[in-house]
Amino acid sequence: MATTRWLDEREMAAWTAFLEASHRVFRVVEQQLKEDAGLSHPQYEILVKLAAAGDAGLRMTELAESLITSKSGLTYQIGQLEKRGLVARGACPTDVRGVMATLTEEGTRKLREAAPGHVTCVRETLIDGLDRAQLAVLAEALGDISARLREKNA
C-alpha cells in the first residue's frame, strides 16, 4: 500500500471538531429527552419517522435503514415502545413476513409532548450557535457525505 496521506492541520481540526461536536451534542440531546420525556434519542427518532410515515406505518427493515441501526436493535426498541403503548405492530399487506410499525394515538401524543423541548434543545445546542452561511454549508456538505454513504452501503 502507498504511503498514508495523513491529515494536515486543517483536516485534523475538521475531523476532531466533528468528533467532539457529535459526542457532545448527542449527549446533551439524550439527556434532555430522557429527563423531560422519558425517551432515548433512538426512541424519539423512531416516533418521528413513524409520524412522518402516516397511518400506514413503516416496515421494520425500512425503518431500521432509515434510522441507521441494526434490525435486531430495532426489534428491541419497537418492543420497548410497544410495551409502553406508543407504537403498534401490524401485518404487512403485501408480505406475510413483513411487520408494519405504526404510531398509536398515545405515541402521537407523546411525540407532540416531547417535540417542543427537543427542538429547543437542538436549537440551543447546535442550530442557534451557527450563522446562516455556516448552516447552509453544514447542510450541504454533510448532506452530500450522507448521500454518498447511503448509496455506497445500499
Partner DNA sequence: CCGCGTTTCTTCGAATTTGAACAACATGCC
Partner DNA sequence: GGCATGTTGTTCAAATTCGAAGAAACGCGG
- Which residues of this chain interact with DNA, rule CB under 7 A? 27, 31, 40, 42-43, 59-61, 69-80, 89, 92, 94-99
The alpha carbon dihedral of 3, 150, 140, 122 has a sign of negative
The number of residues that bind a copy of itself (CB under 8 A) is 52
- Cβ proximity to DNA: between 31 and 146 the closer is 31
> Is 112 one of the binding residues for a copy of itself (CB under 8 A)?
no
Q: How far is the CB of 4 from DNA (least distance, A)?
A: 25
Cα dihedral 69→75→78→83 (10° resolution): -150
Nearer to a copy of itself, 38 or 129 (CB): 129
Q: Give me the residue label for grid cell 435503514.
A: 65
Alpha helices for the chain (secondary structure H) = 9-37, 41-53, 60-67, 71-83, 105-125, 132-152
Cβ atoms 70, 64 nearer than 8 A: yes
Residue 29 CB-density burial (10 A; 0-12 exposed, 13-18 middle, 19+ buried): middle
Residue among 61, 68, 95, 106 that touches a copy of itself (CB under 8 A): 68
Residue 26 interacts with a copy of itself (CB under 8 A)? yes
- SS3 of residue 59 by DSSP: strand
Residue 7 or 91 with smaller CB distance to a copy of itself? 7
Say whether residue 52 binds a copy of itself (CB under 8 A): no
Residue closer to a copy of itself (CB basis): 4 or 94 = 4
Q: Does 18 bind a copy of itself (CB under 8 A)?
A: yes
